[in-house]
Amino acid sequence: MSPRHRIVLSLLALCGLVVLGGCQQSGSRQDPSDFLPLFGDRGNDNSPVLARVGKVEITQDDLDMFLEELPPAMHRRYEGADGRRLALKHMVDKAVLALGAVERELYNDQDVARTLISRRRETLESAMTNYGLLLDKEPSDAELQEFFQEHRDKYRQLGLVKARDLDTSTKADAEAAYLRLKMGGAKNQYPYVVKDYCVNEELRKLDGDLGWFNDGGVIPIIPNSQIFTTKAFALPDGLNPPFQVGDRWHVVELYQRQPARSKTFAEAREQVRKDMMPGFQDAIIKDYLLDARKHFEVQMFGEYGPGQGMTVEEIFARAMVLPEAKDKLDLYTLIHTDYPESDRADDALFMAAQVAIEMFDDTRIAGRYLQMLIDEYPDSELIDDATYLRDNINDPKLLRRLRSGGAVGK
């Protein structure tokens, strides 16, 4: 079992047992065994018992997991046989403290109970998100290629030049070096001229060869390198007269150039995946939440109940002017979930779809909002636009128009 799985399972064990204390009525007494185990992952552990604290057994596997789960900076502290003995001592100390807290019924303290409850909630939420929903979920190759085509302009290989350079402290030295290089001959090549004039020791070691760089790129050995590369990149190929950057004078020869070009899908694939994953995962979570609200029969009461508190028009107007896309989306979906019978519910779903497309590049969840509008509000005035947008949601021209603030249109 991987350390990642062990950590999560250990946390779930903590939630399922130790955190029970946070669920009890104040003043209730619990069996100490309700809080076990304190270590491990609740798997089949047949390894030797190394220590026993009351009913708590600490096994070889428990010790191994404890060491695995430590932050990297602490690993050295527990290296070797003495380190493992020290780690076991610390585990015993933790067990003694935990059992002491149970014996004193500290789980009934409101601050303790609040912490236990919040950790249970956060752990279960994280478990559902990372294991229940997202574990091993990856976009298909077809989805990656579709994303790549929609954002093709983003995936470009920058133009590059390959150059030699020498830098001097004075204009006179730079001009003298330039004249020698221009003269040509065996002793007037860069390796020789660099040694005679260049004041940059790192550049001297390279015989003046900078290798490849792009417009505005960083070259660590060159002072003010981004200004230098911007100027050098714009020079014509071949040997160029001296130019100044900061307190240095440079003599540059460009001897190879690669023009900017679009990357192939194979070249860009890993970057495409990285760019796509946040929206891909967010869509999975949002999809689940849309269904789960119905499954768990969510109800709101008091001032938060349907028709109470702020009016739908106030919420809709607020969503329209909010600058942050996530805040807009939250309010539009709030209208649908909390005011499903209002005249604005279909408008809110349509606007949510547009926000998902225009600001998150998330056509998957946008399509889900549009389908909900079509299914739940068949008499909506937006039904034709919603149907058209759903059916053409991957049309690059339509997406570009929407992202530039244009109407859906046909």
Number of domains in the chain: 3
Residue 93 lies in a domain: yes
101 and 184 fall within a common domain: no
Sign of CA dihedral 395, 398, 403, 409: negative
390 and 327 fall within a common domain: yes
7 and 111 fall within a common domain: yes
Domain holding 253: CATH number?
3.10.50.40
Angstrom CA distances, 244 to 19, 225, 301, stand at 68, 12, 72
Residue 365 lies in a domain: yes
**Residue 40 confidence (pLDDT):** 86
Domain holding 361: CATH number?
1.25.40.10
162 and 251 fall within a common domain: yes
**Residue 29 confidence (pLDDT):** 60
Give yes or no for a contact between 236 and 252, defined as CB atoms under 8 angstroms apart: no
**Residue 51 confidence (pLDDT):** 95
Looking at residue 13, its amino acid is: A
32 and 121 fall within a common domain: yes
Structure tokens at 409: 């249109």
**Residue 153 confidence (pLDDT):** 84
129 and 173 fall within a common domain: no
15 and 126 fall within a common domain: yes
Segments forming the whole domain that contains residue 195: 156-261
Residues in the chain: 410
39 and 101 fall within a common domain: yes
Residue 306 lies in a domain: yes
163 and 218 fall within a common domain: yes
Q: What is the pTM of this model?
A: 0.67
Give residue 376's region: left, alpha or beta (phi > 0; psi -120 to 50).
Answer: alpha
303 and 348 fall within a common domain: yes
**Residue 392: strand, helix, or coil:** coil
DSSP string, 161-191: EEEEEEEESSHHHHHHHHHHHHH-SGGGSHH
Residue 294 lies in a domain: no
Residue 290 lies in a domain: no
Cis peptide preceding 37, ω within 30 of 0? yes
Residue 198 lies in a domain: yes
Residue 20 lies in a domain: yes
Looking at residue 306, its amino acid is: P
* Phi–psi pair at 169, nearest 5 degrees: -85, -20
Residue 273 lies in a domain: no
- pLDDT in tens for each of the 410 residues of the chain? 444 444 444 444 444 444 444 444 445 566 666 777 888 887 888 999 999 999 899 999 999 999 999 998 888 889 888 899 999 999 999 999 999 999 999 989 999 999 999 999 999 999 999 999 999 999 999 999 988 987 888 899 999 999 999 999 999 999 999 999 999 998 999 999 999 999 999 999 999 999 999 999 999 999 999 999 999 999 999 999 999 999 999 999 999 999 999 999 999 999 999 998 988 898 899 889 888 988 898 887 887 776 677 889 999 999 999 999 889 999 999 898 888 889 999 999 999 998 988 887 788 888 889 999 999 999 999 999 999 999 888 777 777 777 666 666 65
55 and 124 fall within a common domain: yes
Structure tokens at 153: 């302009």
Residue with tokens 């269904």: 291
* Phi–psi pair at 395, nearest 5 degrees: -75, 115
129 and 192 fall within a common domain: no
For 259-302, strand residue ranges (E) read 261-262
Give yes or no for a contact between 252 and 188, defined as CB atoms under 8 angstroms apart: no
